[in-house]
Structure 1
């Protein structure tokens, strides 16, 4: 890792659940290409740049290694894994499957009066603010938070736990060119349209599971299809 390139760019981790926060910080750095695929991760550099001890750094690296986000370990050290097309496809397939169940349950809960999809609106506000500030990182985080809130509203602990295990992968994939709109102002508009669809389903008496899958796939692959670069159907 180039220490100079991350000195002022890496966000400082929170002091709650420090090792998990450090893991999130590293994943965010990978997602925004502060740390590039294949790049060696130097533990001492992370200690210096993040201002934390070696213990949470090592724990965070072990977590990221177990999740397949970094490879190597031992005397060889760690490197950022290569998220090639096949790996990306697998992540997107798993994400579509899990989020279909999550959105199904969230819509039903909202339909029953347990909360409201309006809870997603602050995330869209954050996307607008990120676009105005030109912050890709904050836009990515707001995008992930949008889907995390759906995960919480679903109140499905099994699916939610599985989704948590790939949340960092999703954050990284968000930044791939074929899944990202260079116009940050387009991102809140896309989520507004998706939220309008969700609100429309809540107003109905029921929603077909296939319709949920289709809506999610269209939302997730909107940019890829618009660019006509490697848009692969996730429902084979």
Structure 2
């Protein structure tokens, strides 16, 4: 009987603690590249070194930690060609490309670095110029790795290139709801919360204290312990 109670005790502890700990998810810290399609950002289908935007195009870059292109954060701030290139007149044989440069949030910055403020630029470049050439004309210094991956814009970040990082994700049921909410509407999000992170809200379930599962597990352990004592007394009195 005692052995059976011990087995139940182990099972109770396992069930009480399961699902309450954080899981590690792999992500990458990098510059993502975007095209403006009407009033929304779409993930670019080719790299800036081969893309050749037309006159009047709006393109964006965002530095962030993302697991993949579906999870990538979009550029925030002004994304209107008329507003960005208002002071750059057209010129024969040249094209104008509006660039949105979002250096991300402190949470996504490499250790010891602070992201510069987001900015826009209007690049006036030859008609056959690539996005990389337009970027180089407005946001030097650029840094690339040996595989031509864009590592830094305007010198940020100073080191690293597409580094893999681990991020904690809560495994409790329902805690993942809303992940990525607002990423498709960077302008509205930056206006209400410049850091780009969701506003925090305190609730009993998220205050850092023990979860309901831990309390339930503790109650079950106490009940099993009491049963063990009762069984031992029965045998002694028999």
Global fold match (TM > 0.5): no
Task: Report the TM-score when normalising by structure 2.
Answer: 0.25
Task: Report the TM-score when normalising by structure 1.
Answer: 0.25
Higher relative helix content: 1
**Structure (1 or 2) with the larger CA radius of gyration:** 2
Structure with bigger RCO (C-alpha 8 Å, 6+ apart): 2
